[in-house]
Structure formats: structure tokens, C-alpha cells
Structure 1
Amino acid sequence: MPGLLTDLLLWTYPSDMLVITLVLAGWMLASAHAEPVSIEIAGPLVAARNPNYFQDTHGSVLILNGSHSWNTLQDWGTNGALQATDFDAFVKFLAAHGHNFTLLWYTELPKFCGFPSTASSPPDFIVGPHPWRRTGPGTATDGGLKFDLTQFDPAYFSRLRTRTQALGRAGIYAGVYLFTGEWLNIFRCSSDGYPFTGANNINGIDDGYSGGPKGIGAVTMIAPNAITRIQDAYVEKVIDTLNDLPNVLWIVSEEAPANSTWWNEHQIAHIRAYESKKRYQHPIGYGALIRAPDSIIYDSDADWVAPQVRISPPTSCGSGRPICKVNVNDSDHSYFGMWKDTPQQNRNYAWQNFMNGNQVLFMDPYIVYYPREGRNLCVSPKNGICREPDSRYRNFRDNLGYILKYSRRLNLANVTPRKSLCSTGYCLAQTPSAGAEYLVYAPSGGPFTVDLSAMPSSRKLAVEWFNPSSGASIAGDPILAGSSSRSFTPPFGGDAVLYLVDTAGHAASRISNATQGAQRGGPEAPHRRKSASYGAEGISGVFTRRSGTSGI
């Protein structure tokens, strides 16, 4: 399988940096071969000068791409039987596809109902563990002991830390969901055991739920109350558990009700204030709200957002602080129903987002059996959970890794979306008079043109084609720059990627924000980026010579 990670050679974990040396093998690409690749997680991510991306504390600008699934932190199961998730296998799965980002979900309901995994009569799922001890006295509506919301369950937080560390050792960033508002909005039932409903705790906390699939009182308040005090204490416990780990990003919730804006903003401010006293300050995310415009999350004080629009815009700016957000387009919100489209249409979604300056998360059903409409026909399901994932998504998963590999060849500090430069409308480029580079995507393949007039005809561009369907790359003959409408035709059918770069190497960046911050005494915090301005032509500078352009 292209992108197969076969051997973990060495890892060390110093106090400020995680260094993993991996051997990437099995790339069935023209002119490609396995070679060691060093992956670093160097301190928490901070805002890059290019507002589309984060950078690490070494100043390396990067994108975040990967799969996430519902049951990789807590266990799920039907028929009253939890099915343990093999988390080591999940980490290897992400690494095998070349991913560097996932989300760890917190499902707030001990039991949820109506999850549409089957065409009719969907089974109820149970979930565990949870953040609070179930001590009683008394029985909750799901049949377990009532929660004591003043006592945290060490097993939950130990698992959270251990799994976040395991991801870090593999060079993978973990977006940690603090809540999941969607479950409260559509998957509740009278026997769900939700900790914040009065019948399910011994602390007199009550969200006012009285039955039905919707019970959102715990996320729709407009001022602090008894519930937010419990929630705030829980959030602080999560931060205390993970703050010293460099591979963490926070995200408050996903698909919460449209009238949960006060609550979401409260948690963003609370996380920001509490972490300001800690060793690290991690980026804070805000997921799309149900039936609400994306402008709400763009106008928030989050550092990164996951909108509901299918293809995210080239910039994601609003009235909040920071003005511009890093945009991680999550198919969970933006591309529900993607399993009904063709593999090429699925790839279009990922590559078009990347060419617009954005990152991609795949709501991967992984091992949750979801036969409705053939969404996930994974292997050997038992109590709703499978032994192996469905191979139907293998190519899409691989393409998230392919995108990451091209992102590491580009100078992300300089490149910006430049749709006017190519007839396909999907192009990332930097265009100084020397050191230009272009990455072009043709969603349907076929002939297209690229404007190469930024550099004079005395300079040459190396040419590389990449086939997203097969994972194969083809080196072309170098061409002269200078043309304002150079024609290209992919040497294969279907969607295609073209990479062009000055044969002398692409232009490198001036001094990075992180380096400047270190010279001032520390890295720039994620929320300090206040300007939406960024030169469309990139930054001129010295050249970085490349060892070759034969494959990704």
C-alpha cells in the first residue's frame, strides 16, 4: 500500500521536543525509494506569518491532515457490550497513510440513541470511560451508578494522556475535543445517563432535560451557572493532564446548537486564560455549529476553525482575535455523504481544499460498523465495532498523506492560493523573479494552462506529474519560464497534480515569527496574530537547493 510505514527505528522525548526517526517504505512511485524521514514535534504550534498555516517553535510551517474517528479515546459498543479499541493499531493506521493529525473525541452520553448507522431501527451504543466517578448512591437512567461530579475518574485522564503521548511519539498532533454538542442535540434518550441531567448525578446539577432526542441545556446558557462551574473544572483537569505535551490542540465542540455561541466563546476564553499561566499555550479550535453560518466561527477568538462549507475559502478572517484563523476543513461538517461519491470526487474535496490554503480532516468511520448506504462495511463487526477498517477509503486516506508530502516540499511560508495563475482555478504558488514554484491541481484532468511569466525565460522549471489515483509520480523534462499561458496535458487520465519549481530551488523565507519570538525571549503565542495582510507574491529570499524532484 502506498505510504506504508513499516519500521519505527528510534524515538526520543526530550522536554521540549519529540523526535521520531521513521523509515517510510512501500512507496510504489516512479523513481522513489524508501528512506529515513525525521519527524519532529517541536513545542506547541503557533501562528505562522502566512495566516493559512501553523508553524512549530523551530519556525517550520506545516499543514495538518488526517483521519479521525469517534471511538479512539472512549470505547463504544452495542448490545450493552463495550468493545475495546486497539489504539496502537489506530496510531499505526494513521502513520501508514502518512497522516499527522487526528481528533480524540469525548462522547458525553454514556448511552446514545438514534445514531443512523443502519437503515432502520438503529442500535443504541454505550460509551466508556467518562471523566467522573460513578459512585452512587443511586442508579442513573442508563442503569449504572450515579456520577459524583466532584470526583474525577483517574482512568479516563490516564487514558487521555497515554493516547496523546502515543500519537506524539508517532509524530501526530492530537486535537482534543472537550465536548461534543452534536450528541446532545440529536442523540439523546430517556435512558442515556447524561452526567449533567439531575437523575444521573448526586450533586444537584440538572440541565433540564425531560425526554426526546434533544437536550441542550448544558451548552445553551448565556451566563455562568452551576453547570459551567463543573464544566470549567473538567476543562482545567484536561489542561492539567495534557499541557506539557507539545502535540496538543484544543477544540471546544463540534456541531453544537446554533444558540450555544456564548458557551463556546466562554470556553475559548476560559482555556486561553487558564493556559496563560501554564508552560504551553496550545491553539484553540471552534467547530461548525448546526444550522448556523460559518461567519460565527470566523468572528470568534479561536485560533483554528472547522467550517461547514465544502471547500473552505482562501482566507478565513473575521472580527475576532486573531483576525484570521487556520482553517482545517473536516468532512464531518462539510462533506457528509461523501461515501456516495466516486473516489475522484472524494479526492477533489481534499486537493481543492489544500490548493485553497487549507487543511483536511476525514471523518473516518474506521471500525464503527455503518452499513446504511454502504458507508462503512468494515471487517467482522461485533456489537457495532469491526476488527479492521473498510478498504473503500484507502485511496482517500493515502491522498491526505500525499498532500502532506507535497506540503513539505513547498515553502509554505511563502506560497498562497493563486487561482488566477492556472486555468483549473486550483494553484498554490510563490512567484518571485527567481525561485518560483507552482503546485496545480486539475480536478478532472485534461489540458490546462499555467501563467509562468513571473520568472524570465532565462530560468528553467523542473516538472513533475503526480497521479492521485495510483500514487505514482512522473518526472518531465525541464521547461523554460516566461510564458503567460503555458499549456500542459497530464500523461494519464483522471485528476492530476503538477509541480513546477525553479531548477535552482524555491525561494526561502526571511526570518520566521518563531525565530523572532525566540530572540525576544519566547515563541509567539497562537492568539497574537492580529493582521490579515500577507503578500500574495510571497517573500523573496535566498535559495534552498533541492536534492531532487523525482517523487514525493
Structure 2
Amino acid sequence: MPRILTVFWSAALRSGASHPQPTAPGRRPALRRNEDSAASILARALTRDPANCVSSHFPTHSLTHLLSLACLCASSFLLASSATAAAPLRLHPDNPHYFLWRGKPTMLITSGEHYGAVLNLDFDYVKYLDALAKDKLNLTRTFTGGAYVEPQGAFNIARNTLAPGPGRFICPWARSDQPGYAGGGNKFDLDRWDTAYFKRLRDFMAQASKRGVVVEMNLFCPFYEETQWRLSPFNAINNVNGLASIARTNLYTLDRHGGLLALQEKMVRKIVRELRGFDNLYYEICNEPYFGGVTLEWQHHIADVIVDAEKEFRAKHLISQNIANSSAKIEKPHPAVSIFNFHYATPPDAVPMNFQLNKVIGDNETGFRGTNDAPYRREGWDFLLAGGGLYNNLDYSFVAGHEDGTFVYPASQPGGGGPSFRSQMRILRDFICGFDFIRMKPDNAVIKAGVPPTHTALALVERGRQYAIYLRPGTVTQFSVRWTGQVEPKYSEDYTFYVSSNDGAHLWVDGRLVIDNWVEQTEKELTGRMRLEGGRSYPVKLEYFYNGGQAAMKFLWSSGSQPKEPIGATALVWLDGSARGLKGEYFKGTDLKNPWRTRNDPTVNFAWGTSPPFSESSQGAPGALEIELPVGAYRAEWVDPVTGRVAKDETLQHAGGLAKVSAPRFTEDIALRIRAR
């Protein structure tokens, strides 16, 4: 190769133009208009090494041809590199229920922190992202902080990353020189940007990009209570801009926002411009907009603002809309929205209800079903095998000081997560990504028989070629419980009893009806008070029914001498004195008439979700699944979702029709992989 081309290619490579991953604005972009053009690189090559650019043996009359060739090669090289860099996460053109990212079909699967990685200055996001990458998890949600931050103790979350310590909250708005922010420090000036915030935000994006992690940038969040609104930079008490004081339920509207809509638009445009070069990004309009007065018209307006802000950019980013808790039918989708996210989406009804939209359906928040791994593992498997393309478990083991995800959270935490759970998410990821899933679709009809009545099975299929099947104990639809026993207080004083339930409950203490709430409802806490004498035993009867949704039943008390806490076995005893705790009589159905099982419950503090109150043993069942397969040879492998080990495998020489695939013994859940040989 002539020396001039060698120098040219060296200069081109040093320019960074060959790197497919974009960098943040303000750093070295993939292609700089003035410095990294083909002509510029060639000129620098000539200047850098003029003596060797043209050999004494090289005919000078060919210089023009050489320069033309070099420029042509350079243009092709740089344009190809730039095109790669300018292709952010997008819907897969062959199957828009999934993503295409960095040239590969992609599902987004993760177990991530509680959205404070950027706005919480005490949180080491590099260590956190390393922990995700270790288990090949490829998504994280983060809140901008521009409108919403949580107080410490919110939602009973220990070490909440979305609740920074005093003076450790950073957001897009610069601090003023006036003290008085409700969260500590100076108030905000909504006319100025905080350059330190955007530097941190861009670095977070770059660090995530290096580790193959996509970021869901959540722009806004409703204010569930006054305690969150009290900390918002948009609250008139927290800024120096003389804005109107409005109700928290009016902020995200088009007609009652008190002038704050323009500031919201300005913030969106600023963030979109700052992050325009990143390929590992999509925007979510608003977290849980079905609370706090958020209007659909406002959500669609923000989507339009994002589209308009990106109209001059070569690369456009996907937009997500959070639709509902559990499931809902999407009636009027905004054309710019490509991802429809749900929370607590178990069973995964949201997927079949909206599959015809040909967009990604996601489950991007879990919780409120206890702290064990099983409910959230099953939720993830269910959702993706039903045809979903995104799953994010909310992982409370990530906190400041334990960014590696090793924090041991209390049993009262409203969700789970941890190292063992993330390893299970890696198993899910490896299982599903082991298929050519772009060619697959939900197809439970291939399973003809063999699923026990106590179980459910989901199948993602490309008929005749590949089959992914997930089998687990079924969700419970209706049950009721009667707990009886005695409560033994320590102190002689007034006690408050708390019953938090989904659905209804009755509580009697010493024959007196203290709580009467026999109605269908989402989880709600009711209270009753009465005076008790220390050292005495009082008969107690607690009744509960569940008719759908997220089953929960919690029985607590407090007094002047003791904090609010679940009533434990030390204060409970059976009526006959034979056991500590309460006698729990469980019934099928909601009317306490069809006996199911009886057991001792040391305490009543349950968040069953959609799982039954008993672990239904699956050992020995099913004997075999009957699956419709065309003629051919197949390899079948049963995979343990907890360990990733193949529990049983076999080769099938099948003549067509129904194939019987024998299951191994399993306790919790099991997955089946079938491929044509």
C-alpha cells in the first residue's frame, strides 16, 4: 500500500470515526463536520508526513487519481461508520414485538435499581452498571429528577435510591443563591441548567453504553402524595421564579398547569438534545400516569415535543408510554409511541390484549408480592413467553454503598431482588436468546394435553423449528381464610389494629367487630381501636376473601408503648393453647364454605400476588406434555429456571401429530426447549 494510504487510514482510525458506539455531545462525536471529513483527514495525513506521502518512485501525474481514490474510500468508510453509530435502539423490522440494537435482535431483560442512579449523588452508578453487565442484564430505568424525587422512608423502602440524603439531590435545574429548598440547600432557578447534572447524566449514559446496557429515561412521574410534591423543583416553594402555586394534580395537564408546561417542554428539549448521540436509549413519557391527575392529552403532547425536538436529528429514539398496572386494552395509541409498558403485569394478559398493535409490550416494574425470588422470576418468564419484549424487575438490593447489589433488605421491603435473583434473570435471558426468537410468536395451541389443572403453560413457537414452553403452578383466582386464636398484649393501654388487604376483611377482638370491610378493592389499610389489659388473652377472629388482582393480607398493631408492627407469634396463640400463632382455615371460593386446607400461621403478613397461599408441589406432574409437532427429528431439553441446569433431555424421531415429551420431577417451575435437528 502506498505510504499516503497508510497514513490516511491511521489518521482515520485515530479520528474515532470507526467506532460504532456514539459518544455524548460535548465529547468527541462519531463524525465531526470540519475535522473528520475525508478531505480533512487526508490533508492532515499529507501535512503530518509530506516526505513519504508520494514516493520518489511514484509517478507525480497519478497523484490526482490517488487522491480521488483515497477520498472515495474515506467517504465510504466514514459514512458506514457514521450510519452504524446513528442507529439507536429500534423496533425490529421483521418482528416489531422485539428490538434491533447494534445489529442484533434484542429483548431487554434486567433487575435494576429504584431509578435514582443519576439524581442521587451518593450512588456509584459505575459499580451498579458493572453488576448488571456481570449477569448480562441489558436495561436500567432512571428518573431525570427534573420534577420528582422521593422523601426518605417513602413507600416503606429501606435505603431508597430515589430518596437522596440531605444535599445529595441533583437535577437538571441549577441551584439559586437563595436558601429554602424543602429537601435542604438552596432553592432552584428554573431559568438555568445545572451543568454538573448534565455532565453526570452523559457519563452515566456513556458508562451504560460501554457495558451494553440500554437506559429508559423516564421524564416525569406523578405525585402520589403531598410529601413528594413538597420536594419537587416545580413546587413554587422550591424555586425562585415566582411561579403560580398549583395543586400537584394539575401539573401534568394542558389547561391547569399554572405556566409550568413551558418549563416541562424546555426540560424535555434540553435532555433530548443532550442525549441525541446515544444509541442505548429510549424515553418514557411518565411513570404511572394513571395516578395523580396526569391526563392522556398531556402525555400525547409530551410525545409530540420529543418528536419535534428530534426532527433535525438523523437518529430518532423510541418513545415509551406506561399504560396501567396489571393490564388494559390500549384504545387510541399515539403514533410516535413504540413501547407500551405495564407494571405488575401478572398474569401477562397485557400482551395478548395488545399484541395486534405490533409494538413492544413491556413489564417494567414489579413488586408488592413479598421479597422471595419465585413470584418475580415467574412473572418474567410468563411475560416473555407470552410475547412480551421487555422485563424489568425492581431490585431493592441496589442502594448507595451497596451498588453491587448485595444490600440485605428487610422483610418489609415492597419487593425483592438480589444476586441469586439476577442469576435467575441471566438464565431466562440465556434461554430465550438461545432461540431465533424474531421468528417466534405466542402459540399455546401447540400444547394439546398434559398440563395439570393446578398449572399453567405458555408457548413461544416457530412451528416445525423451535418451541419455548414454560410450565408453573397456576395463579389462584378465588379463596378465603378464617384465622382464629387469642392475642396477648403486654401493656394496659389503647391499641390500634391495622388490617391491610386486597380484597375484603372482617376483624373481631374479644367478640367486638373492630373492622368491617367486606368489599372488593385494591390493597387498602383500615384501622380499629380498643383498650386492652396487659397479661390478658383476648379471642380474635380475622376473615378475608380474595377475588382477583394482587392478593395481600396483613395484620398489625401499635400502642403508646410499641411501634406499628405485624402481630407476631409471641403475642398470638390458638384458642386451645396448642400452638403459637393463629389457626388458619383456608377455603376455595370467596364465601368461607368450601374447605381447602388448615395450617398454623405464626403471623398474618402475606403478599401472595397471584400465587396460591400454598406451595403446590409439582413433583411427578405432569407425566408428559402432548405437543403437536410436524414430522422430523427434534431435541427436547427441560431446563431448571433457578439453576439453569438441563434436568432431562431426549431426542425425538417423530412421525407427525402429537408428540409426548416426558417431564422430569420439579418443585417450582420448569422450561422446555425443543429444536428441530
Q: Same fold (TM over 0.5)?
A: yes
Which among 362, 371, 394 is matched to residue 419 of structure 2?
394
Structure 2 residue aligned with 1:546: none
1:117 pairs with 156, 159, 163, which one?
156
Match of 2:237 in 1: 199
In structure 2, do the counterparts of structure 1 residues 196 and 362 end up closer, same or farther at CA, with 3 Å as the change threshold?
same
- How far apart are residue 224 of structure 1 and its match? 8.0
What is aligned with 1:6? none
Q: Is 2:470 the partner of 1:470?
A: no
2:273 corresponds, among 240, 246, 266, to 240
Structure 1 distance, partners of 2:211, 2:169, is 25
1:428 match: 460
Q: Is structure 2 residue 362 aligned with structure 1 residue 328?
A: yes
| Equivalent residue letter for 1:162 | D
TM-superposition CA deviations, 1:7-63 (whole Å, max 9, x none) = xxxxx99454479xxxxxxxxxxxxxxxxxxxx9983122223232122363x3221
Match of 1:346 among 376, 381, 405: 376
Matched residue, 2:652 = 479
Aligned to 2:432: 407
Cα gap change, 1:451/1:431 in structure 2, threshold over 3 Å: closer, same or farther?
Answer: farther
Take 2:666 and 2:440, find their aligned partners in 1: how far apart are those partners? Answer: 27
Counterpart of 2:663, as a letter, is: T
Distance between the aligned counterparts of 1:13 and 1:483, measured in 2? 55
1:130: which partner in 2?
171
Deviation track 1:346-376 (CA, whole Å, cap 9, x = no partner) reads 322111111101131011113349xxxxxx9
| 1:168-226 deviations in Å (ceiling 9; x for gaps) | 11111111111222xx2225268x342212222222223514xxxxx232213348873
Task: Tell me: CA distance 1:317–1:483, structure 2 relative to 1, closer, same or farther (3 Å).
Answer: same
Q: CA deviation at 1:324?
A: 3.4
Alpha-carbon separation, structure 2, partners of 1:13 and 1:62: 25
Q: 1:140 to 1:57 in 2, by over 3 A?
A: closer
8 Å contact kept, 2:110–2:425: yes
User: Contact 1:218 / 1:227 at 8 angstroms: preserved in 2?
Assistant: yes
Q: Which residue, out of 333, 336, 341, partners 1:299?
A: 333
Going from structure 1 to structure 2, the CA distance change for 1:18 and 1:430 (only over 3 Å counts) comes to farther
* Match among 195, 218, 222 for residue 154 of structure 1: 195
Q: Distance in 2 between matches of 1:47 and 1:85?
A: 32
Secondary structure at the aligned position of 2:286 is classed as: coil
Aligned to 2:220, what secondary structure does the other structure show? coil
Aligned 8 A contact 2:394 2:416 in 1: no
Query: What one-letter code is carried by the residue in structure 2 that aligns with 1:447?
Result: P
Q: How far 1:71 moved relative to its partner?
A: 5.1
Alignment gaps of 5+ in structure 2: 1-15, 24-83, 474-617
* Cα offsets for 1:332-353 (capped at 9, x unmatched): 4xxx31325x533332211111
Structure 1: tracts of 5 or more residues without a match: 1-11, 20-39, 77-81, 210-214, 370-375, 382-389, 504-552
| Separation of aligned partners in 2, 1:57 and 1:316 | 30
Give the whole-Å Cα distance in 2 for the aligned partners of 1:452 and 1:380: 43
Q: CA separation in 2, counterparts of 1:339 and 1:284?
A: 31
Q: Does 1:255 align with 2:288?
A: yes
Q: Which residue is equivalent to 1:104? A: 142
Partners of 1:431 and 1:110 in 2: how far apart? 48
Distance 2:459 2:228 in 1: 47
Following the alignment from structure 1 to structure 2, what is the Cα–Cα distance between the partners of residues 486 and 199?
Answer: 68
Amino acid at match of 1:325: K
Which is greater in Rg? 2
How far did residue 288 of structure 1 move? Answer: 3.6
In the alignment, structure 1 residue 311 sits paired with structure 2 residue 347: yes
For the 8 Å contact 2:318–2:339, the answer to whether it is kept is: yes
- Identity rate of aligned residues, in percent? 19
| Paired AA for residue 363 in structure 1 | L
Aligned ranges 1:50-61 → 2 under 5 Å: 50-56=95-101, 58=103, 60-61=104-105
Q: Is the 8 A contact 2:90 2:318 kept in 1?
A: yes
CA displacement, residues 475-496 of structure 1 (integer Å, 9 cap, x when unaligned) = 6231123242423212544311
Deviation at 1:109, TM superposition (A): 4.1
Question: 1:460 — aligned with what?
Answer: 633
Task: State TM-score, norm by structure 1.
Answer: 0.69
Partner of 1:535 in structure 2?
none
- 1:296 offset after TM fit, Å? 5.0
Q: Cα distance, 1:251 vs. partner?
A: 0.7
Indicate whether 1:360 and 2:533 are aligned: no
Where do 1:373-392 residues align within 5 Å?
Answer: 378-379=407-408
Scaled by the length of structure 2, what TM-score is found? 0.57
Contact 1:146–1:202 (CA<8 Å) still a contact in 2? yes
3-state DSSP class of the match of 2:418? helix
Does residue 73 of the first structure (1) align with residue 73 of the second (2)? Answer: no
**Contact 1:464 1:500 (C-alpha < 8 Å) held by counterparts:** yes
Give the whole-Å Cα distance in 1 for the aligned partners of 2:265 and 2:380: 35
**Aligned 1:531-550 pairs, distance under 5 A:** none
- The residue type equivalent to 1:455 in the other structure is P
Counterpart check, 1:419 vs 2:456: no
- Alignment match, 2:600: none
Q: Give the AA of the match of 2:633.
A: K
Q: 1:367 to 1:453 in 2, by over 3 A?
A: closer
Which amino acid in the other structure matches residue 226 of structure 1?
G
CA distance in structure 2 between the partners assigned to 1:41 and 1:399 by the alignment = 32
Residue correspondences, number? 428
The Cα shift of 1:264 comes to: 1.3
**Higher RCO by CA contacts (8 Å cutoff, separation 6 or greater):** 1
SS at match of 2:250: coil
**C-alpha separation in 1, matches of 2:251 and 2:408:** 37
**1:230 paired residue number:** 263
2:89 aligns with: 45
Question: Partners of 2:649 and 2:22 in 1: how far apart?
Answer: 37
Name which of structure 1's ranges 129-138 and 241-250 shifts more when overlaid on structure 2. Answer: 129-138
Q: Per residue, is there more strand in 1 or in 2?
A: 2
Residue 252 of structure 2 is matched in structure 1 by 219
- 2:213, 2:97 → 1: CA distance? 19
| Counterpart-to-counterpart distance in 2, 1:391 and 1:259 | 28
Structure 1 residues 92 and 189, CA, compared in 2 at 3 Å: closer, same or farther?
closer
- One-letter amino acid of the counterpart of residue 358, structure 2: C
Check conservation: 2:96, 2:359, Cα contact below 8 A: yes
| 1:72 Cα offset (Å) | 4.2
Q: Is the 2:627–2:661 Cα contact (8 Å) retained in structure 1?
A: no
Does 1:208 pair with 2:383? no
- Segment of structure 1 superposing worse, 47-56 or 103-112: 103-112
Q: Which residue in 1 is equivalent to 2:107?
A: 63
User: What secondary structure, in the 3-state scheme, does the structure 1 residue paired with 2:658 have?
Assistant: coil
Q: Per the alignment, in what secondary structure is the counterpart of residue 307 of structure 1? A: strand
1:144 maps to which residue? Answer: 185
Distance 1:489 1:317, change over 3 A: closer
User: Contact 1:73–1:159 at 8 Å: present in 2 too?
Assistant: no
State how far apart, in whole Å, the 1-side matches of 2:351 and 2:228 are.
41
Q: Is the alpha carbon distance of 1:448 and 1:413 closer, same or farther for their aligned partners in structure 2, counting shifts above 3 Å?
A: farther
Give how far 1:110 is off: 5.6
Query: Which residue does the alignment assign to 1:384?
Result: none
Q: Secondary structure of the equivalent of 2:260?
A: helix
